[in-house]
Structures are given as C-alpha cells and as structure tokens.
Amino acid sequence: MKKIPVAILGATGSVGQKFIELLSNHPWFEITELAASEKSVGKKYKDATKWVMSNILKDEIGNLEVKNCVPNLKSKLVFSALDSSVAGEIETDFANNGYFVISNSKNHRFDEDVPLLIPEVNPEHLELVKNKNGAIVTNPNCSTIGMVLALKPLHDAFGIETVNVVTMQAVSGGGYPGVPSMDIIDNIIPYISGEEEKMKTEPLKILGKFSNGTIQNAKIKISAQCNRVSVIDGHLENVQIKFSKKPTKEEILNVWKNFKSLPQNLNLPSAPKIPIYYFEENHLPQPRLNRNLENGMAVSVGRLRECEIFDFKFAVLSHNTIRGAAGGTLLIAELMKAQGYFNGIINE
Amino acid sequence: MKKIPVAILGATGSVGQKFIELLSNHPWFEITELAASEKSVGKKYKDATKWVMSNILKDEIGNLEVKNCVPNLKSKLVFSALDSSVAGEIETDFANNGYFVISNSKNHRFDEDVPLLIPEVNPEHLELVKNKNGAIVTNPNCSTIGMVLALKPLHDAFGIETVNVVTMQAVSGGGYPGVPSMDIIDNIIPYISGEEEKMKTEPLKILGKFSNGTIQNAKIKISAQCNRVSVIDGHLENVQIKFSKKPTKEEILNVWKNFKSLPQNLNLPSAPKIPIYYFEENHLPQPRLNRNLENGMAVSVGRLRECEIFDFKFAVLSHNTIRGAAGGTLLIAELMKAQGYFNGIINE
Amino acid sequence: MKKIPVAILGATGSVGQKFIELLSNHPWFEITELAASEKSVGKKYKDATKWVMSNILKDEIGNLEVKNCVPNLKSKLVFSALDSSVAGEIETDFANNGYFVISNSKNHRFDEDVPLLIPEVNPEHLELVKNKNGAIVTNPNCSTIGMVLALKPLHDAFGIETVNVVTMQAVSGGGYPGVPSMDIIDNIIPYISGEEEKMKTEPLKILGKFSNGTIQNAKIKISAQCNRVSVIDGHLENVQIKFSKKPTKEEILNVWKNFKSLPQNLNLPSAPKIPIYYFEENHLPQPRLNRNLENGMAVSVGRLRECEIFDFKFAVLSHNTIRGAAGGTLLIAELMKAQGYFNGIINE
Amino acid sequence: MKKIPVAILGATGSVGQKFIELLSNHPWFEITELAASEKSVGKKYKDATKWVMSNILKDEIGNLEVKNCVPNLKSKLVFSALDSSVAGEIETDFANNGYFVISNSKNHRFDEDVPLLIPEVNPEHLELVKNKNGAIVTNPNCSTIGMVLALKPLHDAFGIETVNVVTMQAVSGGGYPGVPSMDIIDNIIPYISGEEEKMKTEPLKILGKFSNGTIQNAKIKISAQCNRVSVIDGHLENVQIKFSKKPTKEEILNVWKNFKSLPQNLNLPSAPKIPIYYFEENHLPQPRLNRNLENGMAVSVGRLRECEIFDFKFAVLSHNTIRGAAGGTLLIAELMKAQGYFNGIINE
C-alpha cells in the first residue's frame, strides 16, 4: 500500500515534534511536508527547531525545508500543532481549500460543524464531516481526554450526573520552553490558564448525542480544579462521580474491563489493545510507571472507592502529549482513513 | 524569667529534629533532655541521629546524651515526636506519671480526655485537661491543620455542611528517610496510608463544641483524596465547601482577613501575626514561595471562586513540618504556658 | 531453538526486577526460577516484591514461587542481583556446584579467576573461565561501564595515561528504596559510598591485558569524584584525559565513530548496533533525552574539546540500570552463549 | 544616620528582585528608585514584574513607578541587574555622569579601570576607582565567587598553580523564566553558555596583584566544566588543586578555619561572620541544607582529600543568587561605603 503523504503545521513546537516522532515508520502515513511560522520558513527543519524528543531526529525529516502555513501544500492531509494564536484562521483557510485538518489546537473545538473527537468515545461525530471535501476535526484538551475515556463506559452504563475533578498536570502540557524550572522544582502551581474552562465544557460536547446532523450536549455538571506539578509527562486526576443510578464497585470495574470500541475493533495502528487499565494496588496509577502503557495510548485507573459526598471516586492517568495530544490526533486520522474519509485525497 | 526545661521524645527523627530547630533560642522553653529508642540511648545526640535540618546542630544540643523514653526525665514538659508504633503506651505512661505530653503523634488524638488542638481554632478544648496533674494534648495531622485553620472562621460565620478536599502533599510529611526518591522524582503517588481517614475525622473533633466537659463533634460531611508530590515542604490542598447559608465571595474574604484568635491576642512567641493570608494572584499560593510566611506558621489561601457543584472552591497551603507538626505542637505548649497550665511544674 | 532456562538470585530488588524486565521475550533465555532472601521464600513473586518497573509484571513471572538462594536450582545459568552483604558466599557456593553465575555484585570483581567484563571492551578475559564447569563472571560498577566504553577505543589507538572524572549519578543507582527523596529533591549529594574507589580500580582490570592466563592491569592514573543528583536514570560524567600521544579532535571522533566490537560482530540480541554515539550539539548528551538510545545499551558522548590541563575533555552518559547493570550483565551471558561457554549446561 | 538612597537598574528581573529582597530593612541603604526597560517604564513596579521571591513584595516598593535606565535618577548609587545585552552602554553612561554603578553584569568585568571584586578576596582593587567621581565596580560570575573565596586563603598560604573544576549549577543562575522545566526535571544539561570561559578568566583578575595602579593577573592554569542540574539555588563545585608547595590536609583546614578578611573586620552588615565553613561529614555540603548559611553569604566546603592527579580535591558550595549575585554586589557597596567612597554623594 502506498502511504498517504501528510504535512504538519506548527512542526517546530513540542507537539509538532511529537507528531514527527509518532509518524516515524507509521504504516499508513508518511511525512512529506513540514510547515511553521515565518521565521522558520526556508530553513532545514533541523536548523529551525530545537529537538527535545528522546528519539534521534532522522535526516530524512531533519533535512526537509520548512514551508509556509498556507494551503499550497501537496499533502491534502495535515496535522495541526499550531499555536492557538494563529491556528484559527490558518486551519479554516486549509479546510476551505480542500484539506483535511486534524488539529490539536483549541480554536475550532466548539464550531458546530467540527467534531471534537476521541475515537473510542464518539466516533459517530465524524459524520459531521461526511462527504465533505476539506474539513477540520479536533482533538480535545490533554486534561480532558484521559478523564472522558474513563467516563465514557460509565456514562453509557449508569448515566453520569456530576463530575468533580482535580488535576495534577505535567509540565510538557505547557509546551516548550513552557513552564520555567524556577516555578516548578520543589513546587506546585495551582492554576493553568483556561484549563478549568476546557474541562467543564469539552466533555459535554464529546459525550453529546449525534442526531439529525447535530450534537446534543450531554447534561453533566462538572467542576474542575487544575494544578501544575513537577512531572515531565502524564496528567493524574482525582475524579468523583455522581450517577443517575449508583452502580456497585464491581459493576464499574466490569464495565471498564470490558470496554472496547471502534478503534480496537478496526485494529487501528495506534489504538491501544486495552484502552482502560485498572490497577488494584493502592499506590497506582503513577505517571512515571504507567504513562507509557500501550505506547502511551491507554489510560490507567485506580483507587476506585465509594465517596462520602459523591457516589464514587478514583484516580485516572493518561499521557498528555501522546494520548492527550499528538497520539490522540493521529488516532483520529487513522479512524478517518479506515472509514474512507480520505478516499478522495488518495491518489492510487 | 527562668526558662521551662523541656524534653523531646523521639528526638532523632525528622520531627524531633524540627522541634530542636524551633526550640533553639525559644524565649520560654529550653531543651534539657532528649530521648529516643533503645538503639540511640547512651549515645551523644549528634552521633545518634543523621541531622537533616538546614540550621547547623549546636554543640550544646549535639552533645546531650540520649535518654530512654521512660518517665524518669527531669523535665515535666515533654514534646512527643514518637513514631505511632510506640507513642501510644509511652505517652500514656508519661501522662500517668505527672508529665504534660504535647504530642505530634496520632495515637491519642481521639481519646475522650485528650484535646486535639489548633490553638487558633479550638483553644477552649484545653479545658479537658484543666487542673490535671499530667496529661496528653495532641496536634492534628499535617494535612488537617492548614485546611481547618482556613475553615474555622468560615464555619463560625456561615456554617459549613460539606467539605471536599484533594491534597498534594510534600515528601517531608513522610518523615526521614520516608518517601524513596525513585517513587517521586517525575512522579505522583495517589495514595498516603491512613491520611484520608484522618482528614475526614479530625476536623469534626477540632471544630466540635466543648460543653459540659465533653466535645460534641461538628456535623460536616468530608471527603478527602490524598496525593504525594515532588515537593520538599508545604501541603497544597484544593478545597470545596457547601455552606448552610451561602455567603458572597467578599464576605468570605472579609472573614479571613479579619480572623485573629487567642494566640494572636496573647501574642504567643510562635503565633503568626496574621494567621491567614489571601493572595489575589491566580498563580498563588505556591509551596516554595509561600510556605515560610510568618516562619512557617501562617496558612496561605488563594483562588477563591464560586463552584459549579459546591458553593465555593479555593486552594490552601501550609508548611507541614512547621505549622503542621513541630511548630503547631510548640504553639499548643505556648498557649498552655500562657494560660497557667504549667504552673504546677515550674520551679520558681 | 529451545531457550536456556535461567534463574535470578536477588530477584526482589530493583536490579532483579530490571533483569526480569529485560529477559521478557528474550530470544535465547527464559526465566524459570526466582530466588531471594529468607523472608520472600515460599511466596509468590508478585507478593514478595514491590514492583517498581514501568512494564506490567506478567502473571507467568508474578506467580512463580520464590526459592532459596542455594545451589539446588534447576537452571544452571543464574544472574545475580544479590546485595553485596550476601553475594560473596552465595555466588561462590553456586560456582563451586557447577553453576555459571553472571553477577552484577561487586564482591568477586577482583578475584583472580573472575573476569570483570564489558563485552565490547575485554571479551578475551572470558578465557579465564574457559573449560570451567561452573564459574563467576562479573559486570563492573554502573559508573565505570559508560566511561570505560568511551575510553576503550581511545586507549587502543592513542594510549591513555591519566583519567580525571566527575560523575553526576542517578538515584536508581542506589537501588530501591535507596536515596530518600528528602535528600535529593532540590539537592545534590557530593558523596557515594565506595564509588570513587571502584572507579579508580575497575578500569585498570577491565583495560588490562590478558596473557598467559592472567590479567596485567592497565597503568592509568585515575581520580574520581562522585555526586548523586536528582535524575531517575542515567549517569552523566565529565571526563578529562591525558594521552601517551595526543591525537587531534578529529582522530578521536573517528575512532569513536568506527568503534565496533565482538558483540556487534556476533549480532548479540542485546548488543547496540552502534555502541558509542557522538552528539555535536553543545547541550547534549542529557540523561532524559539520550539514556534510552539502543534500548539503553549505547553510550552517548558529547562536548569533546581540548583541555587547559589535560589533553581533552568530554561528557559521557550511559543508562546505569541497563547498560550499567542488568543489561550489561545480560550481554555478558549472551556473549558466553554465542561462544559456547554454556554448551555443557544446555540439554538439547 | 540617614540612609543612602539607591536605585536598581534592571529591577524587574530575578536579580533585580533579589536586590529588593536583600535591601529591605537594610541599615545603610534605602531603595528610592527602580528602573527597567522601555516596556515597564511608567508602570507601578508591582504591575511591571512577576514577583518570584518568597518574601511578599512591600507596597512601598510595589507602588514605585518604574523609571527609565538613563542617568537622570536622583540616587547617585545604583545597583545594576541589567541584562548583558544592554548593560554595557547604560552602565558606562551612568558612570560618566557621576554615578557609582555596582554591577552584577558581565560587560565591564575586564575593563582596566573597573574592579572585579569579592570583598573578602581583593578589597584593595577598589583603589582603581579611588577619588573618582562616578565609576563602575563589578561582581564576578556566580560560579566564580564561591570557588575563589575558598581558593583565596589557600593561594595566599601555599600558592596555587592549577585549578580543575566541575560545576553543578542551580537553575536560578539562568534567571527567570530561564531554564525550561522540560530541560531539567529528571535531567542534567552538560553546558552553560559562556560559563566555562568566565570561570577560567575571572579568578585570574580577582586573585591578581594590585600595584602601581594596575592589576597583574594571577598565573594559574584553570579548566572548568559547567553543568546545569535540578536545584533551585546553590552551585556545588568539585575542585582539584595543585599547589606550588603542597600543604598537609591539616594546614589547609587551618587556613580555611582562620580566614577572616576586611568585611568581617569592618563588621559590614551583609558580611558573614564566618566566610568559609568546613564540614567533616562526607555527605556535606549540600545545596538545600547549606546554601542559606549566614543568610546565604558564607561558602561551605567539604570532602577535602588528597588527589591521585592533583594535590587535593574538595567540594565547595555557595548560594548563587545571594553570595553569587545580589548579596555579593551589595557587600561591595557596603565595603565602599565603609571606606568612604560614597562621601561625595551623601547629603548629610
């Protein structure tokens, strides 16, 4: 099979670098173009970026000449790792010119015709862009994804009314250079700009019902408190839930254990075999020990117990730059490819 | 004034060391005896402990010979930093033999005749040991103290019905050697043994009403989730409250701003001039920046905002080994001294 | 090919766990027995250890019953991760009873009939145990291995007279629980017990000449200063060298670039394709970015420059628990297998 | 005594903030003006900076209006915390207009008429600016100061020929925001731009002889290797020395123990009572435990031992933003005040 050529917008940032890392040796996609801001254009990629990934940058990528973020790229499938200060217009521009933009940026997440997608959670929302010749599909915020993955099977089975969440988020979520070391060594920052708002709005769209061509938001009350901690990768969240109908602990564990979804059924290349791992040990999940499960695409859950205020509480962990960013976005593209969304842009 | 001689039980551990640090140059108390477990007895203190404080150990303390933890000490006032595996019996033994034991250990916190005391919060509970010749008075758990200090004026003013708290706790809370570095660098541990139980029970006694010689526990529903993070000192907690009668944000801020209590009125040596600091900046309070306020005896509060589920939410920080342990215990002794509890044991 | 059954002595410690992780799916070896100290014997492995690796412990290993460290094991090939307080006698006991003990412990490193081996550096020293029916072969200290790998091709080409090294070593080198978090967060410990002595003696044996059945130690003057820093894995070392005949920078780079040795030629399963990577960027090598090169078996070198006092100076990094411990030990076993040392213990 | 009014240039950066912290309640100096770059001018100081010190910013300072860095300030004594990209011209401009500029910036350190000063080491170099009406005096680099303080008495007593140093430097040395957290959590950076050059040149001027109005550089061969580690404050350095005449270990310890200099004799407010502390314990000095000795103005030394290559080796620690930056600069001003250099600019 000939691979589908892809471009990365905002390739020089840390999410852009993670896309490059994950797309290395991908069975379906092949990076052919990298685009970034004015100051990088025309340079070799390796000279335009400070590579901060742990895999060595391959020459075939490092020697690509960085292009402008304008819709004259050859690849019709583009991954966007653009900064939100510029992503809005550029992504629209690409979509209007016949490109499929799979974006990690927040700008279009709440556009009515744009799916906000976690492939295991709401794959049916992709119909919003069915038969379109050019479209934007967005990946949720890194702190939203892990939690909603853990919530999805519970919501389907028992109905979730209220979610209370406190996050302890890794510094890589702030990009590079991002969080200054002086702010986080031996420290915690009890605030992440915009994060709490995202966590209380995004799940409602993601868990919403798709019917008659539109999404009916879920009715769940959510409160989020977001903290930055001294961890490189992996967001850990303490979650409390009130259900419409309170299940037993065993029922919840069963629902998690049996959860599989379309990406697993389609055997997508980046899909975790098991999307949700439950750990019996009290001291798990931990970012450093569990974030890389299934190449960083699984979420880890633990400490499920009854709550004095809500029905249940537990801890959930996911890798914020893989499942929560580049990996999640890539999985969207794989799902779209598997379902034929890109047939029109593949020259075979 | 001649200083009151004091002894420290469990002097070789990290809380014991902190007692020594805080009692250095104390205006009222003077360390004259150090006691510890069998393996240290008979050694010079400096040879029996690995000193991990940042102030240099003075020779006058370092050269003291470590004694047994049996009630034949000359000082009638003893601070206990004993491990909970042995504190129960030893402290009882001392109290029964005419000593005043001010303890940081958990063993007797819920004994009916033992005050569980935060001097600014429930000084009236000291009456439990009035006119006693020998008694135990206990300091609450390090994660409890900061939160309850912030809750106290709110509870008095508006009535608290429900408290939901998630903690991010410093490694010094686990003692020395305590938390292994391999467990916490680039990591979080979502569990601290026994901690959640303490946080949901201790506040009820502390905020309870003293009448007719007994304490009526407060009726507050509490849920706690406790995490260990990569911070040396300072527990940061995300707190949510539901009140009997919901106040405005300004009313809460006013209540905090105007809070003073007996230790401030008595001008106790270790009492913070201002017990509760409120920070307007979104990124505060932070452990590294704010834990040492008022020599580590003040609590710092910030990010007060309305909550989607409860009435309000905010972040509170306190120094776990000072206000939350040795410093809080010392303040209890100062309060008792100022109120004449030690008159019988002072030879003047 | 039927796999060779192997046992691990000291299986419950962190090096033991790393052996289990690395031997999972090994093409030549298969874990069939785990042994540890008295208090673990008879328990299932998963109940006898606190698993701190990031890969999930497989049930087939976790359910093995822990055995005693006595030479009645069925596997004739044993990897030793024993603590040095007990390794001496136990390893001798096994060797005397016909076992091949490949050890990560320090006890026998300087025994005359025991090779101290880095497979790329001194594979010929294995002849010390040729035709033996049972023997001990040892892996050097974790801080020695990375440095000596970088030195080997330079010593062969230009002759090394003097080596000055300062190390910044990861906490995992201290085992689990090992270094307390209170000692290393926001801190450095300028001392590691016994480490400097190892670094100035081990390289002399490893780089020694094997002739007439004995090893003639190399004549190199070495000074080492060892520090513990807040890094999980990966020892970084600043090295300065004086040569017999000073080469140019390009000559050194060429020698490193072209270095391959027996493990590469034999294509051993754990051998890095490229043993030594040189980085041109000033800010490399870094522990977090480069320690996992070639699955943690390569060493990374950078910042080669002329020195004001010695001839050259540079930085070298290697993964201390993989190349510097379990991985290095495993590579020794692979080399021995490939050269037929185990023919007598393989039942085929 | 009326306090001398002082201004701070570059007041909004982290060194500027540290000046403000140290000058709070200073017995001789009083901040009356703050100056910074164009974008801050005209704002209240508290709105122009992100305060990252742990002491709360006082309103009397926070409400000062930030001024331009041009020589129309009323205070004739200015502390410069300017970035080196602009410090050169601005400082010259001030000096030419009758101001005394005590600078922490590197730009003028090697000017022939500018002292590069550590008050305990080369106070006599101040004569370079004697009787001048306006002048620049500079503080050395943060990694230089601690080492040279430890070297000074040894150089005087035994003559130093060669110094080999490897540094492990705190992130605060890089300013704010400075070192990204993604670069340093669980990591080391083996390179700090320009640092090694400073360490091998600055000591030669500082330890140089002042005679006939000029400084004769010391003749010492120095090699430096500089690393950034995950520490907030405190540079730890491994130092090796070759002497003209090798002393015994006891002789070195005696020389350090007895070292006092002019700042101690003059009892300057910021002078440490004891400039050099020696620790017998193998595990000391450590940044977190010892950096704050004497309010961060003392240096800590430990692990003195004979060296296989040089004569002796040891570890030295100093607080890089206090002794190594703002505190060291302040001590220069105190020395100048005590010696009458500012008589012309004091209105009494």
Q: C344: pLDDT confidence band, cut at 50, 70 and 90?
A: confident
Q: Is C186 on the interface with A (CB under 8 A)?
A: yes
Q: Is B274 on the interface with D (CB under 8 A)?
A: no
Q: What are the beta bridge partners of residue B300?
A: B277, B317
Asked if residue A198 lies in contact with residue B286, where contact means CB atoms within 8 angstroms, the answer is no
Nearest to C173 by CA among C119, C107, C225, C229: C229
Asked whether residue D311 falls in the same domain as residue D193, the answer is yes
Asked whether residue A203 falls in the same domain as residue A107, the answer is no
Q: Which two tokens stand for residue B129?
A: 């040991």
Task: Name the closest residue on chain D to residue B285, using Cα atoms.
Answer: D54
**Cβ contacts of residue C131 below 8 Å, gap of 6+?**
none
Q: How many residues does chain C have?
A: 348
How much is the pLDDT for A344? 84
CA–CA distance, C328 with C144 (Å, rounded to integer): 12
Asked whether residue D122 falls in the same domain as residue D227, the answer is no
Per-residue pLDDT averaged across B330-341, rounded?
Answer: 97
List the single residue in A186, A232, A288 with the smallest CB-CB distance to C185: A186
Centre a 10 Å sphere on the Cβ of residue A266 and count the other Cβ atoms it contains: 16
3-state DSSP assignment of residue C305: strand
C168 with D283: Cβ contact below 8 A: no
How much is the pLDDT for B206? 98
pLDDT tens for each residue of C246-305: 999 999 999 999 999 999 999 999 999 999 999 999 999 999 999 999 999 999 999 999
Instruction: Say how many domains are in chain D.
Output: 2
Segment holding A136, helix H or strand E? strand A135-138
Asked whether residue C116 falls in the same domain as residue C206, the answer is no
- For chain B, count helices (H), then strands (E): 11, 14
Q: Which chains sit next to A, with 3 or more Cβ pairs under 8 A? A: B, C, D
How much is the pLDDT for C347? 63
Catalytic residues of B, by residue number, are: 142, 235
Which residues 42-71 of B are in CB contact (within 8 Å) with C? 52
How much is the pLDDT for A346? 73
Asked whether residue C302 falls in the same domain as residue C159, the answer is yes
* C-alpha distance from residue D213 to each of C326, D111, D122, D130, D209 (Å): 63, 13, 14, 10, 10
**Scanning the structure block, which residue is given the tokens 């551990």?**
B13
Q: What residues of chain B lie within 8 A of the CB of A200, using their CB?
A: 308
pLDDT tens for each residue of D122-150: 999 999 999 998 999 999 999 999 999 99
Cis peptide bond N-terminal to A140, omega within 30: no
Asked whether residue D38 falls in the same domain as residue D148, the answer is no
| % residues pLDDT > 70 (chain A) | 99
Segment holding D34, helix H or strand E? strand D29-36
Asked whether residue B108 falls in the same domain as residue B129, the answer is yes
How much is the pLDDT for D344? 84
How much is the pLDDT for B346? 73
Concatenate the DSSP letters of all residues of D286-338 into one string: -HHHHTTGGGGTSEEEEEEEE-SSSSEEEEEEE-TTIIIIIHHHHHHHHHHHH
How much is the pLDDT for D346? 73
Q: State the best of C176, C273, C289, C322 to mutate against chain A, taking most chain A CBs within 10 Å.
A: C289
* Mean pLDDT across chain C: 97
Q: What are the beta bridge partners of residue D6?
A: D31, D77
| % residues pLDDT > 70 (chain C) | 99
> Which ipTM did the prediction report?
0.97
**Domain containing residue D237: CATH number:** 3.30.360.10
**Cβ contacts of residue C39 below 8 Å, gap of 6+?**
none
Task: Name the closest residue on chain B to residue D184, using Cα atoms.
Answer: B186
Asked whether residue A309 falls in the same domain as residue A200, the answer is yes
Nearest to A135 by CA among A110, A104, A103, A164: A103
Q: Is A342 on the interface with D (CB under 8 A)?
A: no
Beta-sheet pairing, B209-211 with B77-80: unpaired
Q: What are the beta bridge partners of residue B31?
A: B6
Tell me how far apart the 2 most distant CA atoms of chain B are, in Å.
60
Q: Which two tokens stand for residue C319?
A: 């993964």
How much is the pLDDT for A342? 95
Nearest to A286 by CA among B286, B227, D185, C134: B227
Task: Name the closest residue on chain B to residue D53, using Cα atoms.
Answer: B289
D191 with C283: Cβ contact below 8 A: yes
B188 with A289: Cβ contact below 8 A: no
For residue D36, give the amino acid letter. Answer: A
List the single residue in C171, C180, C230 with the smallest CB-CB distance to B177: C180
Q: Is the pLDDT of residue B347 over 70?
A: no
pLDDT tens for each residue of A43-70: 999 999 999 999 999 999 999 999 999 9
For residue A136, give the amino acid letter. Answer: I
pLDDT tens for each residue of C130-179: 999 899 999 999 999 999 999 999 999 999 999 999 999 999 999 999 99
**Domain containing residue A25: CATH number:** 3.40.50.720
Q: State the best of B164, B222, B282 to mutate against chain A, taking most chain A CBs within 10 Å.
A: B164
Asked if residue A317 lies in contact with residue A294, where contact means CB atoms within 8 angstroms, the answer is no
CA–CA distance, A148 with A223 (Å, rounded to integer): 14
How much is the pLDDT for D151? 98
Q: What phi and psi values does residue C319 have, to the nearest 5 degrees?
A: -75, 115
D125 is catalytic: no
Is C345 among the domain residues? no
Is A343 among the domain residues? no
Per-residue pLDDT averaged across B278-299, rounded?
Answer: 98
Beta carbon pairs, A and D, within 8 Å: 62
Is B343 among the domain residues? no
D290 with B54: Cβ contact below 8 A: yes
Asked if residue B16 lies in contact with residue B83, where contact means CB atoms within 8 angstroms, the answer is no
CA–CA distance, C108 with C111 (Å, rounded to integer): 5
How much is the pLDDT for B344? 84
Task: Name the closest residue on chain A to residue C290, using Cα atoms.
Answer: A54
Catalytic residue among D142, D155, D226, D319: D142
3-state DSSP assignment of residue B334: helix
Catalytic residue among A142, A155, A226, A319: A142
Q: Which chains sit next to D, with 3 or more Cβ pairs under 8 A? A: A, B, C
For residue D261, give the amino acid letter. Answer: S
D292 with B54: Cβ contact below 8 A: yes
Asked whether residue B307 falls in the same domain as residue B228, the answer is yes
Is D288 among the domain residues? yes
Asked if residue B331 lies in contact with residue B306, where contact means CB atoms within 8 angstroms, the answer is no
A293 with C53: Cβ contact below 8 A: no
Q: Is the pLDDT of residue A85 over 90?
A: yes
Beta carbon pairs, B and C, within 8 Å: 62
Q: Residue B213 region, left (φ>0) first, then alpha (ψ -120 to 50), else beta? A: left
How much is the pLDDT for C346? 73
| % residues pLDDT > 90 (chain C) | 98
Is 0.90 surpassed by the pTM of this model? yes
How much is the pLDDT for D347? 63
Q: Is the pLDDT of residue A293 over 80?
A: yes
Is A344 among the domain residues? no
Q: Which chains sit next to C, with 3 or more Cβ pairs under 8 A? A: A, B, D
D185 with A177: Cβ contact below 8 A: no
As a dihedral over the C-alpha atoms of residue D87, residue D93, residue D95, residue D101, rounded to 10 degrees, the angle is: -30
Q: Is the pLDDT of residue B29 over 90?
A: yes
List the single residue in A53, A56, A186 with the smallest CB-CB distance to C186: A186
For residue B134, give the amino acid letter. Answer: G
Q: Please report which residue ranges of D163-257 form alpha helices under DSSP H.
A: 181-184, 195-206, 249-257
Q: What residues of chain C lie within 8 A of the CB of A186, using their CB?
A: 185-186
**Residue A204: burial class (beta carbons within 10 Å; 0-12, 13-18, 19+):** middle
**Domain region containing A253:** 142-319
Segment holding C4, helix H or strand E? strand C4-9
How much is the pLDDT for D6? 98
Q: What residues of chain D lie within 8 A of the CB of A52, using their CB?
A: 182-183
Asked whether residue B11 falls in the same domain as residue B123, the answer is yes
B289 with D53: Cβ contact below 8 A: yes
Catalytic residue among D108, D125, D155, D235: D235
What is the full per-residue pLDDT of chain D (348 aa) written as tens digits?
789 999 999 999 999 999 999 999 999 999 999 999 999 999 999 999 999 999 999 999 999 999 999 999 999 999 999 999 999 999 999 999 999 999 999 999 999 999 999 999 999 999 999 999 899 999 999 999 999 999 999 999 999 999 999 999 999 999 999 999 999 999 999 999 999 999 999 999 999 999 999 999 999 999 999 999 999 999 999 999 999 999 999 999 999 999 999 999 999 999 999 999 999 999 999 999 999 999 999 999 999 999 999 999 999 999 999 999 999 999 999 999 999 999 988 764
Asked if residue D234 lies in contact with residue D320, where contact means CB atoms within 8 angstroms, the answer is yes
CA–CA distance, B342 with B134 (Å, rounded to integer): 10
Asked if residue A134 lies in contact with residue A98, where contact means CB atoms within 8 angstroms, the answer is yes
What is the number of alpha carbons within 13 Å of residue D94 lying toward its C-beta?
A: 30
pLDDT tens for each residue of C47-70: 999 999 999 999 999 999 999 999
Q: Which two tokens stand for residue A297?
A: 């695409």
Beta carbon pairs, A and B, within 8 Å: 121
Is D332 among the domain residues? yes
**Scanning the structure block, which residue is given the tokens 């072969």?**
C137
Asked whether residue A114 falls in the same domain as residue A12, the answer is yes
Is A127 among the domain residues? yes
Asked whether residue B209 falls in the same domain as residue B237, the answer is yes
Q: Which two tokens stand for residue A180?
A: 């200054």
Task: Name the closest residue on chain D to residue C191, using Cα atoms.
Answer: D283
Q: Is A313 on the interface with B (CB under 8 A)?
A: yes
Taking the CA of residue B179 and the nearest CA in chain C, the distance in Å comes to 6
Is C232 among the domain residues? yes
CA–CA distance, A325 with A66 (Å, rounded to integer): 22
